[in-house]
Structure 1
Amino acid sequence: MANTLQSKKRARQNEARFAVNKARRARIRTFLRKVEEAIASGDKEAATAALRAAQPELMRGVSRGVFHRNTAARKISRLSARVKALG
């Protein structure tokens, strides 16, 4: 357990930051799930629209430090390839 005032404050900050990041991750996962569901249903228009909505959310997560840049790029790349293959 934290002993010094500084380490106690850091522990509080970490808890708050964890809660914010957890909410951001959950929000991004929701957008990704909508793309997955649209792909599974076979609706190319809905999948394209969902992917367009998910891309900025993912990149926002990168800029906020929730995801690594390459992770987001990989997810977008794989999802866009699957949407493109729906034809």
Structure 2
Amino acid sequence: MANSPQAKKRARQNEKRAAVNKARRSRIRTFLRQVEEAIASGDKAAAQAALQAAQPELMRGVSKGIFHKNTASRKISRLSSRVKSLG
């Protein structure tokens, strides 16, 4: 357990940060799930629209430090190739 006042403060800050990061990660996963569902349904137009909405969310996660840049790029690349193969 934290003993010094500064360590206690850092523990409080870490809890707040973790909650914000968890919410952001959840939001991004929701966007990714919408793309997956559109791909599964076979609707290319809906899948493209969902991918266009998901891309900025993923990159925002990168800028906020939730995902590594290469991870987000890999996810976008793989999803876009799957959307492209529809139809």
Partner of 2:69: 69
TM-score, normalized by length of structure 2?
0.99
Give the drift of 1:79: 0.2
RMSD between aligned residues: 0.4
User: What CA deviation, in whole Å up to 9, does each residue of 1:54-86 have, x standing for no partner?
Assistant: 000000000011111011000000000000000
Segments of 4+ moved more than 6 angstroms: none
Q: Structure 1 vs Structure 2: percent identity of aligned residues?
A: 82
Query: What is the one-letter code of the residue matched to 2:11?
Result: A
Q: TM-score, normalised by structure 1?
A: 0.99
Residue 37 of structure 1: aligned partner: 37
Count of equivalent residues: 87
Find the counterpart in structure 2 of residue 58 from structure 1.
58
Segments of 5+ residues of structure 1 without an aligned counterpart are: none
Q: Any gaps of 5 or more consecutive residues in structure 2?
A: none
Q: C-alpha distance in 2, partners of 1:32/1:69?
A: 16
Distance 1:23 1:76 in 2: 20
